[in-house]
Structure 1
């Protein structure tokens, strides 16, 4: 079915499987494509059709459903930070940005290297709103009919775009080792058949160590110049490159090049599997730390709407400020600051609203976003 999301499909179906509190919780997950009528599509970020994962769960209590919403957001944060090396802000969406029909929405917000924010995942708590619309009810422990409490949550191929924009440079993308299809590329260097045979025997002597260490690797035997191969694999973002020539074979070592820093190092082939595993772990950590530093360097604290407007005329990033919670003031932020929106909302007990100066209820992050 062509749809932007699957609540209207899940509702009529799931009610057939829920009769008693013993049937709960009911947890569903699916991988599928959805369609959004985007006026200006942007590859991986705002496509008219894209693949995603969406979950829909149904519970006997509000507390259990809210715990599920928080649990899933934690999983999504782990994917972004631990696997993709993208630091994210987490928090609630403002009422204006909350998913239609939800009581509240939790979100992940990453900062790309062009200083624009990108929503990378959401988790929604519907209370009983969704169940009421589709009459999804159960017999509770007192044998009374009660509406379910439900959630939905999803991440999509937008994460691919986030990875490209969070880590890429002028030479191409940089792929975190944990998700890189190829973690190590080996580039043989030789001039003639005799040189090739020598380098090939040398590589075959230690390549099994990489496989034993669980390292995803490939040897590039294509009939291309070494420099062209270097550029090709830098473009694809392979974390580590091993250059191997005849002299390296004689010395029992390889030249390792780090895609992140471009630094070169001579690495003995004795124990190379363990050494490269350590190098990949270090690469993953440094990539995350670089992204963290970029986020810190582009995060600011401001107090008034005038300051926010002036800031976003010159630069991007995240801006923390205080907000009273009034929708009119939120609308003014977007209008006067040229499309700046509230990305996350946290409870606050201090500060004054950046728009009206009244006591603030919330501390919010602001940004221009995709």
Structure 2
């Protein structure tokens, strides 16, 4: 029985794309396990890299056909219409040629017509600012000594990059105290057209001295997967390990991407400056340091009594501020009264208790 002659086909995953958005080229050889695919494919304006191979077996009536697919990732470096010329494939029956393919490349979303990544021979350093971020959000930057203000810390990692958080940030600076941070909230958010996994922490800070307070959320740590950096040796279509290959960048969500390496990144927010003012002069002698917006209501039960009967006076202080410095109110004139040490309880209406 005579074996079928080997054949070759070539297809693009899409004939239309934009600058810096990769597409896949697949060359499929059927009927010749020893066929040699092209090592280099050169087209001006396109950076084409080999990314791997796969094997398929098809059987019919006890006859089996083997196909070998070779995948290449194409990164458009500029806008235009490009022709990928026929590629020569050496086989046992001679030289086979792939069909010519046409790729239409449009400017990217912000109108850029040339790649920011440069040519394939350049560095594949990733811009960490597009991968991770940290920010500290405070509602006001002018406060009094002892005034408690809420603070929100947000850290995020591009959700298309394989990652895991290993350390949450700490507040850095001097001249303030901070509340314990409750359990963080984690969710996906779209920021600037990119999807990020965002972790949000709530706390509160209280300045303890006047002057300028400089504070930042520092030293968040995460492990991310980045493209593997290779040496300067020549590339082989069968050597997918150790290549200097920016196409393995997880931003591309490339199903044919090669092996990446893990990298620890540490990132911090920008520094926020808070102007801390001293308290107004002539504070009353009973002032305990509570600063904020407070309201006081009181109630007494029972409303009628005889001499010697106990009365319960309940004073309720509500508002926002540093309740840890609030002291119990006292009778201005306790003549004729026998008082007992007060008890107290505190109920917060938010997670940080201000």
TM-score normalised to structure 2 length: 0.22
TM-score normalised to structure 1 length: 0.22
